[in-house]
Every structure is written in structure tokens, then in C-alpha cells.
A and B are shown apart, each in its own frame.
Chain A
Amino acid sequence: MDERLEKALEFANYRITLGNQKRTLKQRTQVLQTVHYSKGVFFADHVTISFVKTLLDSGKENSILVDTKDNPILIEDLKEFLDTLISSYTEAMNEYKAQSDKIKKARNIKSLMDW
């Protein structure tokens, strides 16, 4: 095979593998951001965190929130809930950043796979 074509195919395969690893990492992060609290399922993203913080700032100690399954959930201790959300968010983002940096540094399939 022409050397240029061989290199082009190799690079294309690397890009496919890289894209795949990025998607996998994103999904793993989403799992880490999922929080089970008071029989409800919540997603610890900036929207949920900001909303809970707003409720707390306006003097609420408890509130009803609609979870990702569209169920109304009574959150009795908003402060504790906020801490849980922030903890999940931080853990997920730390892992996302660390793994993402590793992927970025890998310039070929072998290093992507730690072969």
C-alpha cells in the first residue's frame, strides 16, 4: 500500500478510536453525576445545583423538586442535598478532567489503549 494512504488510514483509525473513547468518558461522567436522594433520581449539573442554591438563598430549608423521572420529591434538608449534589459533581468533573487529559496526550492508538 502507498505509504501516504497507509498513514492516512492509520490516522483515521486513531480518530475513530479517540472519538469513541471521548463518548465513553462522557457517559461515565454522566453516571457519576447521577444522584439517588429521597427516593428520587437527580442529575448533579449546574442547573440543579444553581436551583437548589437559589432556594436556599431565598430562605427555604425544604422544598419539592421534580426529579429526572418526573416525580415530585420532597427534599427535607436542602443544605444536605446541595452538599450531596456538589460532591457528586466535583467527583465526576475531577475524573472527567483527569481522564480527558490522558486521552488528549495520547497521539496514537497504542498510547490510547496503554498497550
Chain B
Amino acid sequence: MSEKKGNGICMFCYNNEQLDYIKFALIAARYAKRSMDNIDVTLITDDGTVSWMEQSHDQELIEKTFDQVLIKPVEYESNPRKHMDSPWTEFNAQFTNSNKHMVYEYTPYERTLLIDTDYLITNNFYNYIFDTDEPIALHRYAQYIGNEMPYTNEIHLNDAGINHWWSTIVYFDQSEQSKLFFDIWEHVKDHWEYYSLLYQYPRQLFRTDFCVSIACQMMNGFNNDNFVHDFCGTPLLNMDQKDDIAKINALNDYVFLKHDRVEQWKNILCRYTDQNLHIMNKRALDRKFPDIIDMFKAGENV
């Protein structure tokens, strides 16, 4: 009998030399609590990151934000990832994501929404999923701000490949089917090179999106069946790493500076209100951290 209880959100957070993921986790958790009836949030992290969190943020903010902090050290595996901050600035940072599949075991909840720390939940869209008996749900479709299509390798794993699914948001319960899903994820991780040849995706960067894409394809009977729920076909809304946050009018009202993919020096302003946002330009989010936290504090004082 499972001891896990209730509904909640889990997020993984391992800092690196370039990006302070704790800031992102604080923002993402505050947004989730604000939009989903003060839902429980568990942070899964390591000693070094927790120590930095305690040094750099006040205890009150941490306690208000995270209901539980689980220390789960992760073995270092080199996984450098290229990041962009506008079309003109590029940097590399270690990407620690090798234990994300362990969330099935780590979660204290019976029904869990696993979210990335760069995902801002600004409405109650995901509430419905906790009232269903869907074992697993992920986003199958995505869209970039400015109504831009995803890149080709974000629709299929290769030109003639299987569907791409996003691991940014994963809902799961404690059923046998969910366990199977995470077991496949782990299996793909452990045999990364083999699967990269089989499914023809670049093996240099370990991406959990590819693991879940393979797991979804297998669980859908090696075709495009709909055993895995796709959040009613709703697309994930991504902000490109080459775009920037121009202004935050309110916590649920963002203005972005969106670059033109063909003529990168051209930009357009796009405004999004009450929409869940995947902020892929992490430095942009970092720059806005003080503003966002101040808005949350101001909201509490009203």
C-alpha cells in the first residue's frame, strides 16, 4: 500500500556555475501556489544548492514557498548544454537532469505534477487533471510566443521519426502504468547511445524530452494512440532562448521581445496574459527575479 498522499507539485533544482536554479524554483513555486489553490510544492535538490538557497534568500521566503525540501544528491555526469540569451549571446552550462525519472519514487504525493523550474503556471488549467483517472499526462504539442511553430526536431525526433513529447510538465499517479512509464524512461537513459541510433536523435546532450517521447510511443502501442493523455491537445507555450522579457505589467501579464527567426535583428513585442509560460531564456528570468518577487510580496501586503 502506497504511503504517498494527496496532490502536489515536485520540481528538481541543481545549481551550476552559470545559472542559479534556486531563483527559478522560487518563482515557479510561488506561481504554482498562486494559481493552483496553494498547492503543496516539494523541491528536490542537493546539499550545495540548499546551502546556497539559505545563504542567498531569507528563511521566510523559503518557508512560504516550499512545503518540503528533499535532499537527493545526484552523481555528476558531464552534460554541457548550450544556452542563448538573445540571438547574440551564447554560453554553456552543466545540465543536471539524470535523476528526473526518480520522481516516481521521490514524490510524497499520490498524484504529482512534475514541473521544470522555468515553467510559470499563471492560470488554473492543470487543476482538472487531479480529478481524472489519467495515469500519465504530458504535452505533445508546443508553440513559441508570437504564434511561431516549434523547431522541426521538437515536433518529431528526426525527419521521419516518432512524435516529440515534452518533459517540462509531467503528471502522474502511483499506478502500475505510471511506474512502467518511468521504468522505460530510466531504461532509455541507461542505454542512451543505443536509443540514439535506433530513433536517430543527437546523442551529445542527454535530454529527458527524448526519453519521454520514446516512453510515450511505446506506451501508445508503438503508434500514435492516445493512452498517454496530452493535456487535451493544449500546446506548451515556449519563450525561445533568443527572446527576452521586455516588461512585466503584472504577475500574469508578460510582454516579450520576440526575435524574427529569419532576420534575427528584427523584433516584435508580444503580450501574454493569464497564460502558462515556459521561459527558456533563463538569464532573462534571472534578470526579472527581483521584480517578480517584489510583486509577490506586494500582493501579500494588499
Contacts and interface: CB of A to CB of B under 8 A. Distances in A.
Interface of A: 13, 16-17, 20-21, 23-24, 27-28, 31, 34, 36, 39, 41, 68-69, 71, 99, 109, 112-115
B251 interface: no
Interface in B105-147: 125, 128-129, 132-134, 143, 146-147
B170 to A, nearest CB: 17
Contacts of A27: 143, 147
A17 B226 contact: no
Given A31-B125, A39-B133, A21 B270 contact: yes
B147 A20 contact: yes
Interface residues on B, range: 20 to 34
Contacts of A21: 270-271
Given A27-B147, A114-B249, A41 B232 contact: yes
Interface of A is mostly: helix
B40 to A, nearest CB: 22
A115 B272 contact: no
Contact of B147 (A23, A34, A39, A99): A23
B146 A20 contact: yes
Nearest to B234: A31
B132 A39 contact: yes
B253 A28 contact: no
Interface string B142-174: 010011000000000000000000000000000
A114 B252 CA distance: 13
Contacts of B275: 24, 28
A113 B247 contact: yes
Nearest to B134: A39
A24 B256 CA distance: 13
B274 interface: yes
B62 interface: no
25 contacts: A13-B268, A17-B269, A17-B270, A20-B147, A20-B268, A23-B147, A24-B270, A28-B274, A28-B275, A31-B234, A34-B234, A36-B128, A36-B232, A39-B132, A39-B133, A69-B233, A99-B273, A109-B269, A113-B246, A113-B249, A113-B269, A113-B271, A114-B255, A114-B271, A115-B247
Contact of B226 (A20, A24, A71, A109): A71
A20 B269 CA distance: 9
A16 B260 CA distance: 12
Contact of A16 (B268, B272, B274): B268
B7 to A, nearest CB: 16
B80 to A, nearest CB: 34
Contacts of B247: 113, 115
A20 B147 CA distance: 7
Nearest to A68: B233
Interface string B185-223: 000000000000000000000000000000000000000
Q: Which of B232, B246, B253 has the most CB of A within 10 A?
A: B232
Nearest to A34: B232
B273 A20 contact: no
B73 to A, nearest CB: 38
Given A68-B233, A71-B226, A112 B271 contact: yes
Interface in B245-302: 246-247, 249, 253, 255, 268-275
Contact of A34 (B134, B233, B249, B271): B233
A34 B146 CA distance: 22
B232 A115 contact: no
